[in-house]
A and B are shown apart, each in its own frame.
Chain A
Amino acid sequence: MIELRGITKSYGTGEAMVRALDGVDFSVDRGDFIAVMGPSGSGKSTTMNIIGCLDTPSSGQYLLMGQEVGGLDRDQRALLRRNFLGFIFQGFNLLPRTTALENVELPLVYQGVPQDERRERALAALGKVGLADRAGHKPSELSGGQQQRVAIARAIVTRPQLILADEPTGNLDSARSREIMLLLQQLNRDEGMTVLMVTHEPDMAAYATRVATFVDGRLQSDIRQDAH
Chain B
Amino acid sequence: MLIETFRLALLTVARNKLRSFLTVLGIVIGVSSVIAMVTVGQGSTQRVQSDVASLGSNLLMVRPGQPGRGPGGGQNDAPPLKAADVEALLTEIPDLVAATPAATRTLNAVYGDVTHAVTVTGTDNAYFPVRGWTLSEGRVFTEQELRAGTPVCVIGTSTSMALIGQGNPVGITMRIGKITCEVVGLLTKRDASTFGSDDNDTVIMPLKAFQRRIAGNSNVSSISVTFSDAVTAEEVTPKIQALMRERRGLTDDQDDNFNVFDMKQISSMLTGITGTLTGLLSAVAAISLLVGGIGIMNIMLVSVTERTREIGIRMAIGATEGQVLMQFLVEAVVLSLIGGFIGVIVGLGLGWAGSSALNIAFVPDWRITGAAFVFSAVVGVVFGYFPARRAARLDPIEALRHQ
Which residues on A are within 8 Å of B, measured CB to CB? 49, 52, 54-55, 74-75, 78-79, 81-83, 87, 89, 93-97, 106-107, 109-112, 154
User: Contacting A107 at CB < 8 Å: which of B317, B320, B322?
Assistant: B317
Q: For the complex, give the distance between the alpha carbons of A77 and B140 in Å.
A: 93
Q: Is the CB of A95 within 8 A of B313?
A: yes
Contact B321–A109 (Cβ < 8 Å) = no
Where chain A touches its partner, the secondary structure class is: helix
**Contact in complex: B397, A75 (CB < 8 Å):** no
Contact B320 A109, beta carbon cutoff 8 Å: no
Q: What residue in chain B is nearest A89 (Cβ atoms)?
A: B400
Whether A110 touches B323, Cβ cut-off 8 Å, given contacts A93-B309, A95-B310, is: yes
Besides A79-B320, A93-B312, 18 other A-B contacts (C-beta < 8 A): A52-B316, A54-B315, A54-B316, A54-B400, A55-B397, A78-B320, A81-B316, A81-B318, A82-B317, A83-B318, A87-B317, A93-B400, A106-B314, A106-B317, A109-B1, A110-B319, A111-B318, A154-B317
Distance from B174 Cβ to chain A, minimum over Cβ atoms (Å): 75
For chains A and B in complex, what number of residue pairs have CB atoms within 8 angstroms? 55
A97 touches B317 (CB 8 A): no
Whether A110 contacts B313 by the Cβ 8 Å rule is no
Interface size on B, residues (CB 8 A): 20
A74 and B316 CA atoms in complex are apart in Å by 11
Q: How far is A110 from B322 in the complex, measured between Cα atoms in Å?
A: 11
Q: Once the chains are docked, how many angstroms separate the CA of A87 from the CA of B315?
A: 11
B residues near A75, Cβ cutoff 8 Å: 320-322
B308: shortest Cβ distance to chain A, in Å? 12
Chain B interface, DSSP helix/strand/loop, else mixed: helix
Query: In the complex the two chains form, what is the Cα distance from A156 to B400 in whole Å?
Result: 19
Indicate if B56 sits at the interface (CB-CB under 8 A): no
Which residue of the partner chain A has the closest CB to B392? Answer: A74
Interchain residue pairs with CB less than 8 A apart (17) = A52-B316, A75-B321, A78-B319, A78-B321, A79-B320, A81-B315, A81-B318, A82-B317, A83-B318, A87-B316, A93-B400, A95-B310, A95-B313, A106-B317, A107-B317, A107-B318, A110-B317
CA distance A110 to B15 in the complex (A): 22
Chain A residue nearest to B396 (CB atoms) is A54
Question: B252 on the interface (CB 8 Å rule)?
Answer: no
With the chains together, A112 CA to B317 CA distance in Å? 13
Neighbour of B397 across the interface among A54, A82, A110, A112, CB < 8 A: A54
Residues of chain B with a CB closer than 8 A to A54's CB: 315-316, 396-397, 400
Residue B77 at the A interface, CB < 8 A?
no
Q: Which 8 A-B pairs have the closest CB atoms?
A: A82-B318, A75-B320, A78-B320, A81-B318, A107-B317, A110-B318, A87-B316, A93-B313
Q: Is B113 an interface residue (CB 8 A)?
A: no
Query: How far apart are the CA atoms of A93 and B319 in the complex, in Å?
Result: 15
Minimal Cβ-Cβ distance residue in A for B397 = A54
Shortest CB-to-CB span from B133 to chain A, Å, is: 70
Judge whether B246 is part of the interface by a CB distance below 8 angstroms: no
Which residues of A have CB within 8 Å of B396? 54
The CA-CA distance from A75 to B321 in the complex, in Å, is: 6
Task: For B322, give the chain A residue with the smallest CB separation.
Answer: A75
Give the distance in Å from the alpha carbon of A59 to the alpha carbon of B4 in the complex.
39
* Residues of B284-325 whose CB lies within 8 A of A: 309-310, 312-323
A52 to chain B, nearest CB (A): 7
CB of B400, distance to nearest CB on chain A (Å): 7
**In the complex, what's the smallest C-beta–C-beta distance from B228 to chain A, in angstroms?**
76
